[in-house]
Amino acid sequence: GQQLNQSPQSMFIQEGEDVSMNCTSSSIFNTWLWYKQDPGEGPVLLIALYKAGELTSNGRLTAQFGITRKDSFLNISASIPSDVGIYFCAGSVGNAGNMLTFGGGTRLMVKP
Amino acid sequence: DAGVTQSPTHLIKTRGQQVTLRCSPISGHKSVSWYQQVLGQGPQFIFQYYEKEERGRGNFPDRFSARQFPNYSSELNVNALLLGDSALYLCASSWGTSPTFGSGTRLTVV
C-alpha cells in the first residue's frame, strides 16, 4: 500500500530558529495536507495544498507541493515555544479527500 | 460553531468484548471518516462514509464496521476486541478535501 516517509522523526528547536520537515511518497498524490497534533487532541489542519508546485503560507508556516506530486515540505520560521507538538503530513489520491494517508510524524521539542 | 464531537472520550474494554464509538460531524458536512492512531504513529484510515454509503475502506479486518445516519452522524463498531485494538480512534468530517478531526476516543483493551 501507499506509504509516506516523513523526516526527521524528531527534532529539538530553540526559540527563534527556523524548522524544516519533509514528506516523500512512492506514489502520486493530488492533495497534500499538513496537520499539527497536541497531546490528547486530534490533528488540526495547518496548510492544504492542491496543485503541483504550489507554495502556500499561513503566518510563519510555509508549505510546498512537490512538482513530482510525490513530496511536500513544511517550514516554520522563527519558532516559538507553542510550536512544540507533532506535525503530520497527509496525502490524498483523486477526489477522495477524506481517505488520507499519513506520515509517521515529526515531533518538535524545545531544547533544554 | 461546534466542531467534530466524539463520544465517549475514554473507554476501557476487555478482550473479546464489542465497542461502539460515536461521531457527530460539523453542521453541513456530509462526509465522515474514521482513523485509528496507535501510540507513536500517524493515523491509519479505516472507513469513509458519504450520504450514508461506504465510499472507502482501509486495510482493517471485518471485525471493524461502521454506518452513517440520516443526520450524517456516524458510529464505528469493533467486535471481538484484541489488545492490539488499543488506540486513539479519530473521526473527521468534511465538505471538500480538507477534513476536520475530532479529539478522538481513547480505547484501551485489557
Distance from CA of B81 to the nearest CA of A (A): 23
User: Are A98 and B43 an interchain contact pair (Cβ–Cβ within 8 Å)?
Assistant: no
Report the pLDDT value the prediction gives residue A98, as an integer from 0 to 100: 67
Report the pLDDT value the prediction gives residue B97, as an integer from 0 to 100: 64
Dump pLDDT digits (tens) for B43-76: 999 999 999 999 999 999 999 999 999 999 999 9
**Which residues of chain B approach chain A closer than 8 Å at the C-beta?**
4, 31-33, 35, 41-45, 48, 55-56, 58-59, 90, 92, 94, 96-104
Q: Residue B58: is it exposed, middle or buried by C-beta count within 10 angstroms (0-12/13-18/19+)?
A: middle
Best mutation site among B26, B41, B47, B98 for testing chain A: the one with the most A CBs within 10 Å?
A: B98
Report the pLDDT value the prediction gives residue A87, as an integer from 0 to 100: 98
A110 or B41: which carries more pLDDT confidence? B41
Distance from CA of A104 to the nearest CA of B (A): 5
Looking at the predicted structure, is the pLDDT value of residue A82 above 70? yes
How many A/B residue pairs have CB atoms within 8 Å?
A: 70
Distance from CA of A82 to the nearest CA of B (A): 19
Three-class DSSP labels, chain A: CCCEEEECCEEEECCCCCEEEEEEECCCCCEEEEEEECCCCCCEEEEEECCCCCEEEECCEEEEECCCCCEEEEEECCCCHHHCEEEEEEEECCCCCCCEEECCCEEEEECC
Across A66-82, average pLDDT:
96
* Helix (H) or strand (E) run with residue B75 in it: strand B74-78
User: Are B44 and A41 an interchain contact pair (Cβ–Cβ within 8 Å)?
Assistant: no
